[in-house]
C-alpha cells in the first residue's frame, strides 16, 4: 500500500498524520509542526531540506540553530549554473547567512573528518507553506537541482515500474525518459534511480527533512506540484 505521512504539531505536540487517502484525524487547525533530522558526525555530509517556513526568512542561523554545529562545519547550497556555494562555521559564527527555504535541498557537514564530532539532531520548526487545500510548486529546470519536499510528507517520489510516485509528492511523472533522482547516504554516497522507457527502475522513498537531487536530463523544464490534503 502506498502511504505517506505529514508531521504536524501544535504547541510542540504532533497533531496528526495522513495516509495516502488522508483519512486519519487531525487535532489542530493550526498547521504548524516540527521534524527531527539527524546530521551525521565526523565531517560527513548529510543531505537535508527545510520542511517548514520559520516565518523569519528561513535563514541558516535560524533553520539550523538547534543542531549547534561546531566550528569547521559547512553548509553547501547548489546553483544549477554556478555549482556549490559553501558557508563555513568560524569561531565568530557563520561567515554568511543564506536563506534555506522549504523545497530546497542542501548539504550539511558536521565538523571535520577525524575530529570525533558526534552526530547531532536538528529540529526544524515552523508552519507549512500553504493552507489546507493549497498547492506549492517546485520548479524542475533542465539539469541537476537540489530539491526537498516543501510539505513535510514522507513517501515515494518515484515508484519502480511506474511513471510517477505517490499522489501527494509525485516528482516522477513530470520528468521525461533518462531523468534521474539521486538520494545521498553519508557513508555510501549516492543512489541513483533512472526513468527508462517511461518507467522508473527503482523506488525513491524520502522522509520529512530529507533532500535529494533531481536530474531533469532531457527537459523540458517542468514542475512538481504538491497539495496539502488534510481531511
In the predicted model, is pLDDT for residue 83 greater than 70?
A: yes
Percent of the chain with pLDDT over 90: 84
- DSSP-assigned states of every residue in 88-155: EEETTEES---B--TTBEEEEE-S-TTS-PPPEEEEEEEE-SS-TT-EEEEEE-SEEEEEE-SS-EEE
In the predicted model, is pLDDT for residue 11 greater than 80?
A: no
Rounded average pLDDT over 179-194 = 98
Q: What is the pLDDT of residue 86?
A: 98
Q: What is the pLDDT of residue 6?
A: 53
Grid cell at residue 165: 510516485
In the predicted model, is pLDDT for residue 24 greater than 70?
A: no
Residue 13 backbone phi and psi in degrees, to 5: -110, 145
Residue 220 backbone phi and psi in degrees, to 5: -75, 175
In the predicted model, is pLDDT for residue 23 greater than 60?
A: no
pLDDT tens readout for residues 129-181 = 999 999 999 999 999 999 999 999 999 999 999 999 999 999 999 999 999 99
Q: What is the pLDDT of residue 47?
A: 98
The CB density around residue 9, as the number of other CB atoms within 10 Å, is: 18
Q: What is the pLDDT of residue 196?
A: 98
Please state, in angstroms and rounded to a whole number, the distance separating the CA atoms of residues 73 and 86.
Answer: 10
Amino acid at each position: 500500500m502506498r502511504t505517506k505521512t505529514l508531521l504536524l504539531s501544535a504547541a510542540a505536540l504532533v497533531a496528526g498524520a495522513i495516509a495516502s487517502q488522508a483519512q486519519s484525524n487531525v487535532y489542530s487547525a493550526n498547521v504548524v509542526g516540527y521534524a527531527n533530522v539527524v546530521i551525521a558526525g565526523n565531517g560527513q555530509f548529510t543531505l537535508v531540506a527545510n520542511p517548514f517556513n520559520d516565518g523569519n526568512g528561513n535563514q541558516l542561523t535560524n533553520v539550523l540553530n538547534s543542531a549547534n554545529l561546531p566550528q569547521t562545519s559547512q553548509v553547501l547550497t547548489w546553483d544549477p549554473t554556478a555549482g556549490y556555494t559553501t558557508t563555513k562555521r568560524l569561531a565568530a559564527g557563520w561567515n554568511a547567512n543564506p536563506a534555506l527555504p522549504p523545497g530546497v535541498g542542501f548539504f550539511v557537514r558536521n565538523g571535520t573528518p577525524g575530529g570525533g564530532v558526534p552526530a547531532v539532531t536538528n529540529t526544524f520548526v515552523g508552519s507549512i507553506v500553504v493552507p489546507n487545500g493549497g498547492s506549492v510548486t517546485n520548479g524542475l529546470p533542465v539539469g541537476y537541482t537540489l530539491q526537498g519536499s516543501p510539505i513535510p510528507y514522507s513517501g515515494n517520489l518515484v515508484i519502480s515500474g511506474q511513471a510517477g510516485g505517490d499522489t501527494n509528492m509525485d516528482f516522477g511523472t513530470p520528468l521525461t525518459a533518462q531523468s534521474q533522482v539521486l538520494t545521498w547516504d553519508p557513508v555510501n554516497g549516492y543512489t541513483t534511480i533512472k526513468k527508462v522507457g517511461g518507467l522508473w527502475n527503482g523506488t525513491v522513498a524520502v522522509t520529512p527533512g530529507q533532500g535529494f537531487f533531481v536530474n531533469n536530463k532531457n527537459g523540458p523544464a517542468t514542475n512538481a506540484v504538491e497539495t496539502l490534503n488534510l481531511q
